Amino acid sequence: ETGVTQTPRHLVMGMTNKKSLKCEQHLGHNAMYWYKQSAKKPLELMFVYSLEERVENNSVPSRFSPECPNSSHLFLHLHTLQPEDSALYLCASSQQRGPGRDYGYTFGSGTRLTVV
């Protein structure tokens, strides 16, 4: 266990469904991230939260809606997704925003999403 827990591990949903992905970290970190990992593509940063405030949204379609109710929890709400949204969605946390120099990210195991 890395200290970052994602649920569910697998999710199959229809294009008209609404579902949510959950991420929880027990590391006392202040920044959390959502990444999308598709086959044959680099990791795509979707959202960044720092101290529960969204600080970055990388042109993600509105059918993805993040929520960060506190510094330990991060959600990704999904609605009317497309088949091309099928991917592994990874959550990560870091001690603070701008962690590259001294810290690095701690990742969860991801949610494998399939849109049918």
Partner 1 sequence: AQSVTQLGSHVSVSEGALVLLRCNYSSSVPPYLFWYVQYPNQGLQLLLKYTSAATLVKGINGFEAEFKKSETSFHLTKPSAHMSDAAEYFCAVSDPDRDDKIIFGKGTRLHILP
> Which positions lie near partner 1, rule CB under 8 A?
2, 4, 6, 41-43, 45, 48, 56, 90-92, 97-102, 104-110, 112
The SS3 of residue 106 is strand
* The pair of three-digit structure tokens given for residue 92, joined into one six-digit string: 């990560």
Determine the Cα–Cα distance for residues 56 and 13; give it in Å rounded to an integer.
27
Q: Please say which residue, 75 or 79, places its beta carbon nearer to partner 1.
A: 75
Helix runs in 12-116, H state only: none
**What strand order describes the sheet that includes 73-79?**
4-7, 18-25, 73-79, 64-70
In angstroms, give the least distance from the CB of 80 to partner 1: 27
In angstroms, give the least distance from the CB of 78 to partner 1: 19
Strands 111-115 and 106-107: unpaired
In angstroms, give the least distance from the CB of 39 to partner 1: 11
Q: Please say which residue, 80 or 106, places its beta carbon nearer to partner 1.
A: 106
Q: Please say which residue, 61 or 98, places its beta carbon nearer to partner 1.
A: 98
Q: What is the DSSP letter of 102?
A: T
Cβ–Cβ under 8 Å, residues 112 and 10: yes
Q: Please say which residue, 52 or 79, places its beta carbon nearer to partner 1.
A: 52
In angstroms, give the least distance from the CB of 12 to partner 1: 16
